């Protein structure tokens, strides 16, 4: 099987890579990554369809689940973790399972990806349901651990998305929404932490960010549902509030201080001249949409 996978086939473009000086080597490595952008661009319609399919389930209280091994697994963990500070997404609603367990995030656990049964058990342990959405990640598209997780998600009635870097991969044929990221041969043969991983990172970023936009976590192009959990993010919250509401720093800070530094609440408070409680209630009535809350009479 390995010999027929695009991601495992030696590249014909740089057979003397080890002879390059640093400047030429860096240029070759960077330029090869451009194929990741092309692959995700080609997959954009499939990603958009996946967003539309996932939206009603997530809006109904479902979770984003991720399953992967190695680089793919780590990218799933990364996407799940970053949704909290960026969009105030509850940690329990973005859950990643990875071949080899949590420790495999830091130390490679060889052989764990070959355990299809364990993939099913790890996913089942998260008690998936019909409103949950699984993102199954595998560069090869044939990782047994990920296929086990996919089978468990299907059995629970969850929506399944498969992201793989080889056409016709088992992960793509076993899921509801196949997303092919056809990056081809790697410049360093078989090293899918390169452009295959880059394509997966772009696809995950794009999918989850689009989903959050559709869930009213963004106003215009401003991330107004972030968590101000450190000094940098407090400054960002103030800047976002100033920009969206057109007020000075003092007024922005005053409003934010009354609503636990919720940017979207502060914007509605300032532009509708409402107290924090009323602004919060208005946002709730409009499913957290700042735009609809501001338009309300």
Domain boundaries, the chain: 2-214, 231-295
Catalytic residue flag (residue 82):
yes
Judge whether residue 183 has pLDDT over 80. yes
CA 6, CA 192: separation in Å to the nearest integer?
Answer: 11
pLDDT, position 107: 85
Query: How is domain 231-295 classified at the architecture level of CATH?
Result: Orthogonal Bundle (1.10)
287, burial (CB in 10 Å: exposed 0-12, middle 13-18, buried 19+) = exposed
Nearest Cα residue to 52 out of 139, 154, 161, 130 = 161
Instruction: Categorize the per-residue pLDDT at 174 as very low, low, confident or very high, splitting at 50, 70 and 90.
Output: very high
Average pLDDT over residues 167-193: 95
Cβ atoms of 134 and 140 within 8 Å: the answer is: no
pLDDT, position 178: 98
Cβ contacts of 194 within 8 Å, gap of 6 or more: 29, 32, 33, 186, 187, 188
* pLDDT more than 70, % of the chain: 99
Catalytic residue flag (residue 113):
yes
pLDDT, position 8: 81
pLDDT, position 18: 93
Which of 3-7, 78-82, 232-236 is the least confident region?
3-7
Average pLDDT over residues 203-229: 95
pLDDT in tens, 250-264: 999 999 999 999 999
CA 117, CA 106: separation in Å to the nearest integer?
Answer: 23
Average pLDDT over residues 230-242: 95
Please give the backbone phi and psi of residue 256, each rounded to the nearest 5 degrees, phi first. Answer: -60, -35
Nearest Cα residue to 160 out of 151, 209, 56 = 151
Judge whether residue 3 has pLDDT over 70. no
Average pLDDT over residues 194-209: 97
CA 111, CA 221: separation in Å to the nearest integer?
Answer: 43
Judge whether residue 11 has pLDDT over 60. yes
Catalytically annotated residue among 8, 31, 82, 249: 82
Catalytically annotated residue among 113, 116, 186, 249: 113
pLDDT in tens, 112-163: 898 999 999 999 999 999 999 999 999 999 999 999 999 999 999 999 999 9
User: Taking the model in full, what pTM does it have?
Assistant: 0.93
pLDDT in tens, 42-85: 999 999 999 999 999 999 999 999 999 999 999 999 999 999 99
Average pLDDT over residues 261-280: 96
pLDDT, position 10: 82
Q: What is the DSSP letter of 83?
A: H
Looking at 3.30.1240.10, 3.40.50.10490, 3.40.720.10, 3.30.700.30, the CATH number of the domain 2-214 comes to: 3.40.50.10490
Instruction: Categorize the per-residue pLDDT at 1 as very low, low, confident or very high, splitting at 50, 70 and 90.
Output: very low
pLDDT, position 39: 97
pLDDT in tens, 84-114: 999 999 999 999 999 998 888 888 887 889 8
Average pLDDT over residues 170-190: 95
**Higher local confidence (pLDDT), 3 or 191:** 191
CA 211, CA 198: separation in Å to the nearest integer?
Answer: 20
């Amino acid at each position: 099987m390995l010999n027929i996978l695009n991601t495992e086939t030696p590249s014909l473009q740089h057979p003397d890579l080890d002879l390059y000086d640093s400047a030429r080597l860096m240029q070759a490595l960077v330029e090869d990554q451009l194929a990741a952008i092309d692959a995700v661009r080609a997959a954009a319609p499939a990603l958009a369809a996946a967003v539309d399919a996932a939206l009603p389930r997530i809006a109904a209280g479902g979770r984003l689940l991720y399953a992967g091994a190695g680089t793919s697994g780590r990218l799933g963990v990364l996407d799940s973790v970053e949704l909290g500070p960026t969009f105030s997404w509850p940690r329990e609603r973005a859950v990643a399972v990875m071949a080899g367990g949590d420790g495999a995030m830091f130390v490679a656990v060889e052989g764990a990806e070959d355990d299809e049964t364990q993939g099913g058990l790890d996913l089942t342990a998260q008690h998936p349901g019909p409103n949950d959405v699984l993102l199954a990640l595998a560069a090869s598209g044939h990782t047994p651990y990920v296929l086990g997780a996919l089978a468990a998600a299907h059995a629970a009635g969850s929506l399944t998305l498969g992201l793989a870097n080889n056409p016709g991969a088992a992960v793509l044929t076993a899921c509801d929404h196949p997303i092919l990221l056809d990056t081809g041969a790697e410049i360093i043969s078989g090293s899918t932490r390169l452009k295959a991983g880059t394509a997966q990172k772009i696809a995950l970023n794009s999918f989850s960010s689009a989903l959050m936009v559709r869930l009213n976590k963004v106003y215009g192009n401003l991330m107004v549902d972030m968590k101000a959990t450190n000094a940098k993010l407090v400054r960002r919250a103030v800047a976002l509030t100033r920009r969206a509401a057109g007020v000075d720093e003092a007024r922005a800070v005053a409003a934010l201080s009354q609503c636990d530094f919720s940017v979207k609440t502060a914007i509605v408070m300032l532009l509708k001249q409402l107290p924090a409680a009323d602004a919060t209630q208005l946002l709730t009535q409009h499913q957290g949409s700042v735009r609809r809350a501001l338009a309300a009479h």
